[in-house]
Amino acid sequence: MSSPYRIMTVCTGNICRSPMAEVVLKARLADAGLGDSVEVWSTGVSSEEHGNPIDRRAAAVLHDAGYIVPRRAARRVTAADLGSADLVLAMTAAHARRLRDLTDRPVVRMYRAFDPDAPSTAGLADEHRLDIDDPWYGGMEDFRVTLAQVEAGADGVIDEVRRVLAAR
């Protein structure tokens, strides 16, 4: 059996956006019958939230949408994470830049690049148009918007995984 395809989602502190994307992708991959072929985990570019659980508002929005929210602790991305990931999904262009500074592997992509209705970009210069805003500074509606953006890109990520696995 070949090793699983490995996806890492990354935001700032690893308590809102990236764990939301992790939960959604795991559920969608399981629904697509790919749960045993793909590993998904999340990290942050900062250690400011290290050890903290998923934000209670993110957990509530996920739960209300029918997702199972696991107990987890925030952690910072490591070189080993980047070295073992097949696909790294950044929540913002700033995250993508920081991650690309840490690896020369072409695995870093913008999460919303997989959303067919996301704004178009001409390249790295305007990747910021694909940013998923940090809901931490807002209210529950901001978390619902983040979840909608994450869900909108999930099917595109699944399609990419299928394409890669078929080529293996």
Q: Is 55 a catalytic residue?
A: no
Catalytic residue among 133, 134, 142, 155: 134
Q: Is 117 a catalytic residue?
A: no
Catalytic residue among 16, 17, 28, 75: 17
Q: Is 16 a catalytic residue?
A: no
List all residues 6 or more positions away from 150 whose beta carbon is below 8 Å from its beta carbon: 17, 20, 21, 24, 111, 132
Q: What angle do CA 38, 42, 45 make, to 5 degrees?
A: 140
Angle between helices 17-31 and 56-64 (to 10 degrees): 30
Catalytic residue among 11, 28, 109, 115: 11
State CA 105 to chain mean position distance.
18
How many whole angstroms separate alpha carbon 150 and alpha carbon 66?
A: 14
How many whole angstroms separate alpha carbon 137 and alpha carbon 4?
A: 36
So which residues are the catalytic ones?
11, 17, 134
